[in-house]
C-alpha cells in the first residue's frame, strides 16, 4: 500500500508517495501531475544498473519519453563538471521549462539534478525518485539542492522544490547494508528532535524496519512527515529548520576530520556519533539526564551504528583540531558556537551561545 505525505507549501505544495512498486507506476503518477511532460533521468551507474530499465518502462507506460544521463557514483559527482554534464544533457534533449528533470538515485544525484533543474531555463520541473534510505527520509524532501565547492560541502546551490517525490521502498533491497544503516541514523534523528513516541517505536521495531515491508514504509512515512512539517514552517532555514542539524555539527567535523573517506565514515555514521555526542554533551551541561544519553547510545549500538569516536577506524585529530573543524562549520557565528542540544529524548532545541571552551573539554574527555 502507498502512503502519501503532503508538503504544505501553498501553491508549491507537493506529495511524497511512499511504498513498493512506485517505479512501475511512475509514468501514471507523473503524467497526472505534469500532463505532456518530457523527461531527462539523472542517475548514477550503480542505480542505473539495478533500476534504470524499470524506470524507463514505468515512464513509457504513462506515455512519458525519457533520456538517461548516467554519472559516476559518489560524493565527487556533486561538482561543477558533473553539473555541466547534466545541463548539457538536458539541453541537448531539447527539454523546455515545463519538462522535467527526474533524479533517480541517492542524495548525491538528488542534490545535483535538483540544482540543474533549478537553473536550466531559469527553473524546470523537478521530480525526485530517491533510491537510498537517506534520500527517501531526508535529502529528497525540502528543496535544498546544490553541489560542493573546493571551499566546502554544499556551498553552491538553490532552493528548488520538486513537483512530486516518488519513494519506491522496493529499490532499497539493492542498497548496500551499510548505506541502509547509515540512512537509519537520520530516521532515528526525527524521533530525537521532537517525536519521543517515534523513537520509542523504533527501539521496539527497528528489526522490522531493517527487514522491509510495512514497518519500513511506516518509518519512512513518519520521517517524511517530520521533515515536511519543519520545512513547511521554515522553508528557507531562518529558524526552526536548523533543528534538522541535530548530530550534524559533531558529525560534519568528524567527516572532515576523516577526509570524507567513505571507507572510514559515511555521512549517516557521522550523524549517529554526532547525535550520541549531542546527548552526552547536553547531559554534561546538566540540560538532560545521562540516562537519556545512555538510551540513545544503546539504540545506536543495537542497530550496529557507530556511536562514539572510538568506533571510527584509524587515528583522529586531537580535540583542538576537532574544535577547529567545528568552528569552520557554517553554524558558527562570532565565536559563540551554535549547537542542537536537548533536554531529553525528543526535546531538542537550538542553543546559540555554547562556549567553545565547554566544547573543547567535552571533546578531550570523549576522544
Tell me, rounded to whole angstroms, the distance of Cα 23 from its chain centroid: 20
Is 197 an annotated catalytic residue?
A: no
CA distance 189 to 192: 5
Does 46 engage in binding with ligand NAD (CB under 6 A)?
yes
Does 104 engage in binding with ligand NAD (CB under 6 A)?
no
The residues with which 42 forms a beta bridge, in sequence order, are 69, 103
Block residue for cell numbers 538510551: 295
Does 101 engage in binding with ligand NAD (CB under 6 A)?
no
Is 144 an annotated catalytic residue?
A: yes
Distance spanning both ends of the chain, measured CA to CA: 46
From the number of C-beta atoms within 10 Å of its C-beta (0-12, 13-18, 19+), residue 82 rates as buried
Does 26 engage in binding with ligand NAD (CB under 6 A)?
no
DSSP assignments along 296-337, one per residue? HHHHHHHTT---SGGGSSS----HHHHHHHHHHSTTEETTEE
Residue 116 or 363 having the CB closest to ligand NAD? 116
Does 228 engage in binding with ligand NAD (CB under 6 A)?
no
Strands 152-159 and 144-149, by their bridges, are antiparallel
CA distance 139 to 147: 13
Pick the piece of the chain touching ligand NAD (CB under 6 A) from 56-64, 172-180, 323-331, 346-354. Answer: 172-180
CA distance 227 to 7: 9
One residue of 29, 85, 138, 235 binding ligand NAD per CB under 6 A:
138
**Residues 50-79 interacting with ligand NAD (rule: CB under 6 A):** 50, 73-75, 78
110 labelled ligand-binding: yes
Is 32 an annotated catalytic residue?
A: no
Is 299 an annotated catalytic residue?
A: no
Task: Point out the residue whose Cβ comes nearest to ligand NAD.
Answer: 107
Does 269 engage in binding with ligand NAD (CB under 6 A)?
no
279 labelled ligand-binding: no
Would you tell me which residues interact with ligand NAD (CB under 6 A)?
44, 46-47, 50, 73-75, 78, 105-109, 111, 131-132, 134-135, 138-139, 142, 144, 154, 171, 174-175, 179, 267
Query: What positions carry a catalytic annotation?
Result: 122, 144, 186, 227, 237, 241, 245, 248, 252, 267
Amino acid at each position: 500500500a502507498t502512503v502519501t505525505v503532503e508538503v504544505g507549501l501553498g501553491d508549491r505544495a507537493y506529495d511524497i508517495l511512499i511504498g513498493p512498486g512506485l517505479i512501475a507506476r511512475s509514468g501514471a503518477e507523473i503524467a497526472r501531475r505534469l500532463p505532456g511532460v518530457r523527461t531527462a533521468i539523472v542517475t548514477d551507474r550503480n542505480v542505473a544498473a539495478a533500476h534504470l530499465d524499470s524506470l524507463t518502462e514505468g515512464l513509457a507506460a504513462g506515455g512519458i519519453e525519457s533520456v538517461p544521463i548516467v554519472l559516476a557514483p559518489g560524493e565527487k559527482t556533486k561538482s561543477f563538471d558533473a553539473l555541466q554534464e547534466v545541463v548539457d544533457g538536458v539541453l541537448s534533449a531539447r527539454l523546455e521549462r515545463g519538462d522535467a528533470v527526474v533524479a533517480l538515485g541517492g542524495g548525491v544525484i538528488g542534490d545535483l539534478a535538483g540544482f540543474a533543474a533549478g537553473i536550466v531555463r531559469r527553473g524546470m520541473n523537478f521530480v525526485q525518485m530517491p533510491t537510498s534510505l537517506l534520500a527517501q527520509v531526508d535529502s529528497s524532501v525540502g528543496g535544498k539542492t546544490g553541489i560542493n565547492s573546493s571551499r566546502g560541502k554544499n556551498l553552491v546551490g538553490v532552493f528548488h522544490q520538486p513537483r512530486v517525490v516518488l519513494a519506491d521502498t522496493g529499490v532499497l533491497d539493492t542498497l548496500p547494508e551499510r548505506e541502509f544503516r547509515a540512512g537509519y541514523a537520520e530516521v532515528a534523528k526525527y524521533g530525537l528532535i521532537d517525536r519521543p513516541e517515534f523513537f520509542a517505536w523504533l527501539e521496539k521495531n527497528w528489526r522490522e524496519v531493517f527487514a522491509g515491508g510495512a514497518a519500513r514504509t511506516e518509518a519512512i512515512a513518519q520521517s517524511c512527515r517530520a521533515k515536511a512539517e519543519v520545512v513547511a514552517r521554515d522553508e528557507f532555514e531562518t529558524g526552526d529548520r536548523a533543528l534538522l542539524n541535530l548530530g550534524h555539527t559533531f558529525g560534519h567535523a568528524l567527516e572532515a576530520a576523516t577526509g570524507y573517506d567513505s571507507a572510514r565514515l559515511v555521512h549517516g555514521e557521522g550523524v549517529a556519533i554526532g547525535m550520541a555526542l549531542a546527548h552526552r554533551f547536553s547531559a554534561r551541561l546538566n540540560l538532560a539526564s545521562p540516562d537519556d544519553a545512555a538510551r540513545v547510545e544503546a539504540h545506536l549500538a543495537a542497530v550496529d551504528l557507530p556511536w562514539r569516536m572510538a568506533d571510527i577506524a584509524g587515528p583522529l585529530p586531537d580535540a583542538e583540531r576537532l574544535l577547529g573543524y567545528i568552528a569552520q562549520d557554517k553554524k558558527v557565528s562570532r565565536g559563540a558556537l551554535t549547537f542542537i542540544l536537548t533536554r531529553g529524548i525528543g526535546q531538542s532545541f537550538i542553543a546559540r551561545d555554547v562556549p567553545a571552551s565547554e566544547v573543547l573539554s567535552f571533546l578531550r574527555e570523549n576522544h
